[in-house]
């Protein structure tokens, strides 16, 4: 692909044109059309394009992800401007742009305007649509067609292909005929020396002409945007020559010598720039093959051999020198140039280290190793990484705003991960961090953005959603988060409670809400008006434990509500405060004919030991038993009375114990058992006679209960 033909335009001109196009893109994003910066950059890019059009009719810039390709040449991959431009266009789904002779400044502006239009950049399909519907006359754009990326069985993909840059392959196919044909030799420059050597060893025959060798060499090492024969390229060439079979090595070497000696200036640069090692290797190879060296190159080599071995601009007087901002001693410099590690490490140790290199133990399968495997997991490593970023942000060592921004963004990217994996501890630390920074007005703009995100409904809803999944395993951390948000999170938790179907989760959410204490009262009172009975019930349940008497007027209306579950919670709430209205309502419920109401009221009477309800409870006990359901009701009443322990109940209980059991024999036997089980709260003296009778009973449970209580009395 690259290298077969030379670029017909000056590389510098091209580089400048791309730089100006990139500047223009940025200016158009910020300023209006008539702004001097926009005009200036547009004019410059336009002028540069015009100069290019003096040399050719059009120019196509293809984009292979982060690399720009002109004709079939890759532009310098490391150049940040090229990279920025390429990545930007790739993000827009652009595969190539063709500028044609005759393009106007308006068209150039229109192009820049469209690719930077904020309403379009997030939807490349809209950009594509716009260019299709309103095409520019002298500028055409090709968009990535994902249909060209086909599905293949992974077993059919060569190892090399798996590692390859598929974008380059795509663009290559595109440039060479819409993915239809290709010339194998085009791809030569991207191939490793070993692979190319192996290919040439297999395929080169005696009939191959001298020019073909030159062509391979030129194609393989020449770079359009940099000096030919850099150290890396020389290294590559040396490696290629070494990989060739002896029969063709000489021809290739001769070809290299020819290519190098064609341009003495380039050859001079080459000898100045490549390392001594590579140059010596190259010259040794020439000598080994007894090649004739052209005179001009020979002179140059002689000159080269008399030069100092290395020139270093940064060398400073004394034994030290400086590179960038790093001071290095003369010893270190020597070390780097010669790899003379012996200076610092003894030969013995070096040999020990060398032995290590050839050593390979069989893979251990122990549990410890398996445990280690967990830590090698990418996701686990990410977790550690995030923790370190949090540590750094919590330290005093991030003092630079840009650094702060980078770290905050790194964490921002991970918040979703924290949420979706229940890493509540890390979320809490982040919340504490931003709260601390907010208080201390540390980088307020960045902090504010972060806070905005953490307080957004979207985030909070997702957070609570994951409480459902992970919350029970990290109760304390979940509570810390909820406590951090305070009243703000209460309505959302209440919403989640209302929508929750799982009783276990409801319990979890209720327990979480209850920890807010009085803070939840306003929201709970508000939600009492919700039409759904279960919402009312939940709110009453939560309010029952609050310690605020002012809520009672809001609760009382529900003591007589038409849903017994709501009613139960309201009464529970009122009885919790010993509220008179609650007691009256309870008594009313006991007097009602509704089995459900009586059951609920009996339970509450016992639960809150409501003495005032004893008469009503006894009245139920004295009623005639007409069904087994009546017996069941009496069991509940007996239990309630047992909890209250009022001796007024004992006479009635005795009556029940001695009454004849003609009907519902088993149920009544069960009732009697319950009476004995309920005696523990009555004054001991007043139950002696009942116990005496119980000890004589044929019923095992009654006997054993009587025995247990009698022993208690004796003690």
Partner 1 sequence: MIETINKFLSSFTSAVLNCSLYSGEHASVNEFITKALDALNILFNDSESLEIMIIEDDIVINKTLIRNAGIQVVNLIRKLKRKGISRVDILKGVEFMEIKDFIVSLLDKDKVTKGFPHILTGAVDIRLGGQNLTEDFRIGDISQLSALQANGVKEIFTNVSHFKKLETYGLEEIVLKFAAAFKKEANILKLLCPIKSASEYTYVHATNVAVLSMFQAETLGVRDDIKHDIGIAALLHDVGKIFVNVNILEKKGKLDEQEWNEIKLHTVYGSKYLAKIESLTRLAPIVAYEHHLRFDGKGYPKIKNDGRKQHICSQIVAISDYFDALRSRRPYRKELEFEEILFVMKNESEGMFNPFLLDNFIKSMYRVLSG
363-392 residues near partner 1, rule: CB under 8 A: 363-365, 368-369, 372, 375-385, 387-389, 391-392
For 484, counting Cβ atoms within 10 Å of its Cβ (0-12 exposed, 13-18 middle, 19+ buried), the class is middle
CB 536 within 8 A of CB 524: no
Nearer to partner 1, 292 or 356 (CB): 356
Does 353 sit near partner 1 (CB under 8 A)?
Answer: yes
Does 153 sit near partner 1 (CB under 8 A)?
Answer: yes
- Closest by CA to 602, choosing from 584, 623, 617, is 617
- Which of positions 202-241 make contact with partner 1 (CB under 8 A)? 231-232, 235-236
559: left (phi over 0), alpha (psi -120 to 50) or beta: alpha
Instruction: Compute the distance between CA of residue 111 and CA of residue 131 in angstroms, rounded to an integer.
Output: 9
Nearer to partner 1, 410 or 701 (CB): 410
Does 150 sit near partner 1 (CB under 8 A)?
Answer: yes
- Which of positions 250-309 make contact with partner 1 (CB under 8 A)? none
Helix (H) or strand (E) holding 94: strand 94-100
Nearer to partner 1, 184 or 658 (CB): 184
From 8-16, 48-56, 179-187, 604-612, give the range in contact with partner 1 by CB under 8 A: 179-187
- Which of positions 449-468 make contact with partner 1 (CB under 8 A)? 466
- Closest by CA to 229, choosing from 273, 191, 188, is 273
Q: What is the DSSP letter of 285?
A: H
Does 404 sit near partner 1 (CB under 8 A)?
Answer: no
Where are the strands (E) in 417-491, listed by range?
none
Nearer to partner 1, 41 or 222 (CB): 222
Does 191 sit near partner 1 (CB under 8 A)?
Answer: yes
- Closest by CA to 93, choosing from 128, 53, 69, is 128
From 52-60, 344-352, 515-523, 666-674, give the range in contact with partner 1 by CB under 8 A: 344-352
Q: How far is the CB of 143 from partner 1 (least distance, A)?
A: 11
Instruction: Determine the 3-state secondary structure of 233 from DSSP.
Output: helix
Nearer to partner 1, 83 or 639 (CB): 83
CB 500 within 8 A of CB 536: no
Nearer to partner 1, 236 or 634 (CB): 236
Helix (H) or strand (E) holding 365: none
The site map against partner 1 for 321-340 (x = CB under 8 A) is --xxxxxxx-xx--xx--x-
The site map against partner 1 for 48-67 (x = CB under 8 A) is -----------------x--
Does 407 sit near partner 1 (CB under 8 A)?
Answer: yes
Does 362 sit near partner 1 (CB under 8 A)?
Answer: yes
Does 313 sit near partner 1 (CB under 8 A)?
Answer: no
From 162, 441, 660, 665, residue interacting with partner 1 (rule: CB under 8 A): 162
Helix (H) or strand (E) holding 602: helix 595-607
- Closest by CA to 196, choosing from 230, 157, 240, 153, is 240
From 105-113, 190-198, 538-546, 674-682, give the range in contact with partner 1 by CB under 8 A: 190-198
Residues 6 or more apart whose CB falls under 8 angstroms from that of 93 comprise 124, 125, 127, 128, 143, 144
Does 595 sit near partner 1 (CB under 8 A)?
Answer: no
Q: How far is the CB of 465 from partner 1 (least distance, A)?
A: 9
Q: How far is the CB of 556 from partner 1 (least distance, A)?
A: 41
Nearer to partner 1, 157 or 401 (CB): 157
Tokens 């809520």 appear where?
Answer: 551
Q: How far is the CB of 593 from partner 1 (least distance, A)?
A: 46
- Closest by CA to 524, choosing from 303, 36, 285, 514, is 514
Instruction: Compute the distance between CA of residue 327 and CA of residue 320 in angstroms, rounded to an integer.
Output: 7
Instruction: Determine the 3-state secondary structure of 58 from DSSP.
Output: strand
Instruction: Compute the distance between CA of residue 245 and CA of residue 241 in angstroms, rounded to an integer.
Output: 9
Q: How many residues bind partner 1 (CB under 8 A)?
A: 125
Q: Tell me the two tokens of residue 436.
A: 């601390």
């Amino acid at each position: 692909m690259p290298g077969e033909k030379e670029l017909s335009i000056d590389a510098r001109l091209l580089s400048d044109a791309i730089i100006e196009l990139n500047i223009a893109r940025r200016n158009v994003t910020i300023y209006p059309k008539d702004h001097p910066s926009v005009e200036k950059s547009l004019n410059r890019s336009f002028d540069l394009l015009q100069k290019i059009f003096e040399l050719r009719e059009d120019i196509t810039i293809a984009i292979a992800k982060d690399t720009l390709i002109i004709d079939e040449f890759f532009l310098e991959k490391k150049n940040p401007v090229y990279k920025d431009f390429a990545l930007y266009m790739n993000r827009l789904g652009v595969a190539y742009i063709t500028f044609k002779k005759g393009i106007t400044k308006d068209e150039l502006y229109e192009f820049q305007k469209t690719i930077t239009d904020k309403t379009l950049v997030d939807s490349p399909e809209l950009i594509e649509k716009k260019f299709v519907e309103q095409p520019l006359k002298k500028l055409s754009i090709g968009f990535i067609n994902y249909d060209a990326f086909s599905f293949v069985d992974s077993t059919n993909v060569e190892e090399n292909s798996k590692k390859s840059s598929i974008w380059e392959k795509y663009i290559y196919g595109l440039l060479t005929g819409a993915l239809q044909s290709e010339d194998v030799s085009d791809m030569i420059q991207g191939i490793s020396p070993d692979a190319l050597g192996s290919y040439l060893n297999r395929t080169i025959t005696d009939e191959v002409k001298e020019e073909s060798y030159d062509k391979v060499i030129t194609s393989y090492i020449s770079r359009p945007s940099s000096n030919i024969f850099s150290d890396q390229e020389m290294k590559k060439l040396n490696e290629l020559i070494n990989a060739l079979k002896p029969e063709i090595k000489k021809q290739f070497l001769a070809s290299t010598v020819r290519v190098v000696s064609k341009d003495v200036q380039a050859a001079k640069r080459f000898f100045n720039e490549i390392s001594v090692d590579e140059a010596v290797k190259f010259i040794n190879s020439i000598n080994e093959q007894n090649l004739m060296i052209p005179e001009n190159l020979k002179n140059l080599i002689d000159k080269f051999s008399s030069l100092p071995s290395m020139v270093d601009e940064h060398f400073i007087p004394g034994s030290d020198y400086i590179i960038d901002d790093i001071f290095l001693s003369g010893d270190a410099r020597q070390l780097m140039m010669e790899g003379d590690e012996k200076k610092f490490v003894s030969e013995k140790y070096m040999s020990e280290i060398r032995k290590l290199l050839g050593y390979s133990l069989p893979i251990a399968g122990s549990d410890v190793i398996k445990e280690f495997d967990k830590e090698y997991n990418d996701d686990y490593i990410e977790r550690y990484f995030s923790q370190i970023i949090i540590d750094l942000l919590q330290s005093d060592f991030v003092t630079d705003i840009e650094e702060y921004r980078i770290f905050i963004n790194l964490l921002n990217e991970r918040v979703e991960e924290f949420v979706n994996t229940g890493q509540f501890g890390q979320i809490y630390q982040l919340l504490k961090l931003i709260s601390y920074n907010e208080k201390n007005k540390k980088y307020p703009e960045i902090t504010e953005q972060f806070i905005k995100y953490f307080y957004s409904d979207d985030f909070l809803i997702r957070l609570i959603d994951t409480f459902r999944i992970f919350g029970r395993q990290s109760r304390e951390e979940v509570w810390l988060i909820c406590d951090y948000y305070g009243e703000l999170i209460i309505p959302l938790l209440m919403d989640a409670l209302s929508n929750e179907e799982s009783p276990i989760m409801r319990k979890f959410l209720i327990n979480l809400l209850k920890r807010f204490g009085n803070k939840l009262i306003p929201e709970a009172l508000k939600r009492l008006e919700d039409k759904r009975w279960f919402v009312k019930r939940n709110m009453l349940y939560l309010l029952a434990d609050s310690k605020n008497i002012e809520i009672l007027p809001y609760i009382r209306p529900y003591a007589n509500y038409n849903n017994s579950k709501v009613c139960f919670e309201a009464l529970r709430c009122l009885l919790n405060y010993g509220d008179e209205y609650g007691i009256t309502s309870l008594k009313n419920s006991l007097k009602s004919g509704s089995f459900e109401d009586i059951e609920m009221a009996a339970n509450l009477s016992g639960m809150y030991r409501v003495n005032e309800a004893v008469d009503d409870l006894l009245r139920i006990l004295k009623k005639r038993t007409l069904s087994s359901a009546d017996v069941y009701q009496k069991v509940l009443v007996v239990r309630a009375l047992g909890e209250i322990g009022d001796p007024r109940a004992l006479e009635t209980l005795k009556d029940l114990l001695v009454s004849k059991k003609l009907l519902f024999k088993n149920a009544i036997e069960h009732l009697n058992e319950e009476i004995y089980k309920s005696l523990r709260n009555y004054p001991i003296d007043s139950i002696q006679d009942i116990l005496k009778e119980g000890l004589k009973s044929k019923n095992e449970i009654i006997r054993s209960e009587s025995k247990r209580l009698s022993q208690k009395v004796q003690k």
